């Protein structure tokens, strides 16, 4: 807005240090694995998925017997473990956060599903698949992947010719909370990432949230943030050879009808659309040639 120093001073009074932890402290928290193990259940995982569009639930949870799945940005692996429990033939999860993969593998072993489940601490760009999958899933990860255009193109190579690719992601960077930097704010400031100086926000992040992760660009933070716009996502898909089977904007806002319709109105204005697309549900494949 006004540059690094002034924006830093403007934002600083609205920050707190209640969540201040280094990456080493996060990785060594002895109770994290126990807590997630105790909290995990197949039923809870399905409830988590219920916040997304019903078509996603139908595509992923129904008729999954003998199907193979890969989840890019799998987190703690809950979705894949639920799929394996319900009969999936093979599931593979990739995540760049080592602690998440460790916990996912432990839960799979605990449920005697480790022969069906493979969790890898790996980036998609370095993953060499020995097979193609029936379904590729990426939930809440596409905005973090370093080169989303390349990833979308690679996704086509990872699925069978009649396979499905499901992307559910957000918040997109230029939308109200797309900077993903509310963990140290006393209250969320909408469009903070788009309005305020990048270095100012990241300096406060280092001081108040992650002191062991000093960076000057959002792309370099632990976990990454690629600053992708919705219009760029559409462009990446169009150049990938994939086609949309389903595309929905802001499905997470449907439970708030007034807010949902307010945002949908502005998404129809080309110059403002990128600022009001918070989340996206997209199902793509190689066969369809038009929207359905």
Going along the chain from its start, the domains and CATH numbers come out as 40-180+225-285 (3.40.50.150)
| Cα angle 285-287-289, degrees, rounded to a multiple of 5 | 95
Q: For residue 61, is pLDDT > 80?
A: no
- Do the bridges between strand 159-170 and strand 279-285 make them parallel or antiparallel, or are there none, so unpaired? antiparallel
Distance CA 165, CA 84 (A): 18
Q: For residue 87, is pLDDT > 60?
A: yes
- Mean per-residue pLDDT for 128-156? 91
At 14, is the secondary structure helix, strand, or coil?
helix
**pLDDT level of residue 51 (50, 70, 90 thresholds):** low
CA distances (Å), origin 68, targets 59, 162, 277: 13, 13, 31
Least confident of 49-63, 73-87, 92-106, 156-170: 49-63
Q: Which pLDDT belongs to residue 205?
A: 97
Helix H or strand E segment including 112: none
Distance CA 273, CA 263 (A): 9
Q: Which pLDDT belongs to residue 289?
A: 47
Q: Which pTM does this prediction carry?
A: 0.86
At 168, is the secondary structure helix, strand, or coil?
strand
Q: How far apart are the first and last CA of the chain?
A: 41
Q: For residue 68, is pLDDT > 80?
A: yes
- Do the bridges between strand 117-121 and strand 133-139 make them parallel or antiparallel, or are there none, so unpaired? unpaired
Q: Quick one: angle between helices 42-49 and 54-61, nearest 10?
A: 140
Report residue 169 as tokens: 């992601």
Least confident of 24-38, 59-73, 97-111: 24-38
Sequence-distant (6+) residues with CB within 8 A of 182 are: 188
| Cα angle 179-184-185, degrees, rounded to a multiple of 5 | 80
Which runs of E-coded beta strand occur in 122-263? 133-139, 159-170, 243-249
Q: Which pLDDT belongs to residue 237?
A: 95
Which runs of E-coded beta strand occur in the chain? 68-72, 90-95, 117-121, 133-139, 159-170, 243-249, 279-285
| Cα angle 141-147-152, degrees, rounded to a multiple of 5 | 70
Q: Look up tokens 């126990």; give the residue.
A: 34
- Mean per-residue pLDDT for 128-138? 90
Which runs of E-coded beta strand occur in 52-115? 68-72, 90-95
């Amino acid at each position: 807005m006004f540059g690094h120093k002034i924006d830093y001073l403007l934002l600083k009074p609205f920050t707190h240090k209640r969540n201040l932890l280094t990456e080493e402290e996060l990785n060594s928290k002895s109770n994290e694995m126990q807590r997630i193990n105790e909290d995990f259940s197949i039923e809870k995982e399905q409830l988590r998925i219920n916040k997304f569009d019903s078509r996603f639930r139908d595509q992923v949870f129904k008729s999954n017997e003998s199907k193979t799945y890969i989840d890019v940005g799998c987190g703690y692996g809950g979705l894949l473990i639920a799929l394996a429990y319900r009969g999936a033939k093979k599931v593979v999860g990739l995540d760049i956060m080592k602690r998440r993969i460790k916990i996912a593998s432990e839960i799979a072993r605990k449920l005697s599903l480790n022969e069906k489940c493979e969790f890898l601490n790996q980036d998609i760009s370095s993953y060499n698949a020995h097979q193609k999958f029936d379904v590729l899933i990426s939930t809440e990860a596409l905005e973090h992947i370093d080169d989303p255009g390349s990833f979308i193109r690679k996704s086509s190579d990872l699925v069978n010719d009649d396979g499905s690719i499901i992307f559910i992601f957000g918040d997109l960077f230029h939308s109200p909370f797309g900077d993903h930097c509310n963990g140290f704010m006393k209250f969320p400031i909408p469009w903070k990432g788009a309005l305020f100086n990048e270095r100012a926000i990241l300096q406060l992040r280092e001081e108040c949230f992650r002191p062991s992760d000093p960076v000057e660009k959002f792309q370099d933070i632990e976990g990454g943030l690629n600053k992708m716009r919705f219009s760029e996502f559409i462009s990446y898909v169009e150049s990938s050879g994939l086609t949309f089977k389903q595309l929905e904007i802001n499905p997470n806002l449907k439970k708030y009808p007034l807010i949902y319709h307010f945002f949908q109105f502005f998404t129809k204005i080309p110059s403002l659309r990128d600022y009001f697309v918070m989340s996206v549900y997209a199902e793509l494949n190689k066969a369809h040639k038009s929207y359905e």
